[in-house]
Amino acid sequence: MSGHSKWSTIKRKKGAADAKRGKIFTTIIKEITVAARMGGGDEASNPRLRQAIAKAKDNNMPQDNIKRAIMKGTGELPGINYEEGTYEGYGPGGVAIFLEVLTDNKKRTVADIRHLMSKHGGNLGENGSVSWMFDKKGQIQVGIEAGEEETILEAALECGADDFEVEEDMYLISTDPAELMQVKDQLESKGYEINSAEVEMVPKNLQKVEKKDVDRVLNLMDELEDNEDIKSVFANFDIDEADIPSS
């Protein structure tokens, strides 16, 4: 199981599946703005923008908010100039952590990340210190109720997927990052409902977390997720279900 998917599962079990709505909207608006700035405001020719808009719609973001974010990205409306960046480091128990950020102040962001890492027994590393432990992949989630495993596997491969696995209550379909939206569209055209479609950093191997470090790892992940400058949090931890504290 990928570290990010495992983190998603743990959040659900802790009762924290519904992240702060304000944080979700802020992150999506930043992503739409940057995507439009880099690739233009036409989602048909800008896969990254199309992915961001799809996520906005999945989270019931008003159409006016989406439109304004695009116009800020294309320069039709004044807006903040967000910068992209990645940060890497280690959490408690040797867990590798990879962060994607969208920020208007990199100095503030790196100071916040360094503080959180240190606070929970981790440390911020140099670029490249953990990225080699992850593969960048498109990840599509389809609910287990969508059909039999063999049927979904066949459909996914027909649509251009690279890999397929079953994870508890969902099917996880892996793609080349550049083909994520194409595979998603083809699956939807076959009648499958897509729960999520994201480009993620998937760990090549998992790091077992001892029981004494579980709370610190999960608390660090929670606080990183809450930071409005951090777009995505990926980690390679493996935590036993029995060690996850109840909410």
Q: What is the 3-state secondary structure (H, E, C) of the chain?
A: CCHHHHHHHHHHHCCCCCCCHHHHHHHHHHHHHHHHHHHCCCHHHCHHHHHHHHHHHHCCCCHHHHHHHHHHHHCCCCCCCCEEEEEEEECHHHCEEEEEEEECCHHHHHHHHHHHHHHCCCEECCCCCCHHHEEEEEEEEEEHHHCCHHHHHHHHHHCCCCEEEEECCEEEEEECHHHHHHHHHHHHHCCCCEEEEEEEEEECCCEECCHHHHHHHHHHHHHHHHCCCEEEEEECEECCHHHCCCC
**What mean pLDDT is reported for the chain?**
89
Q: Which pLDDT belongs to residue 239?
A: 85
Residue 203 confidence (pLDDT)? 93
pLDDT at 8 over 70: no
CATH number at residue 221: 3.30.70.980
Are both 137 and 198 inside the same structural domain?
yes
Residues 229, 118 share a domain = yes
Whether residue 168 sits in one domain with residue 145: yes
Q: What would the pLDDT profile of 234-247 be if each residue is shown by its tens digit? A: 999 988 877 777 65
146 against 15, higher pLDDT:
146
Q: What is the mean predicted confidence (pLDDT) over 41-61?
A: 92
* Mean per-residue pLDDT, 166-190: 92
Residue 142 shares a structural domain with residue 153: yes
pLDDT tens figures, 26-37: 999 999 999 999
Judge whether residue 18 has pLDDT over 60: no
**Same domain, yes or no, for 143 and 38?**
no
Domain-embedded: residue 128:
no
pLDDT at residue 13, as a whole number: 56
Same domain, yes or no, for 173 and 52? no
Instruction: Give the pLDDT confidence score for residue 169 in this predicted structure.
Output: 82
Domain count, the chain: 3
The pLDDT tens digits of the residues spanning 193-221 come to 998 899 999 999 999 999 999 999 999 99
Mean of pLDDT values over 99-108: 96
pLDDT at 4 over 60: no
Quote the domain boundaries for residue 220. Answer: 84-122+205-236
Which pLDDT value is given to residue 5? 54
Q: How high is the pLDDT of residue 24?
A: 86
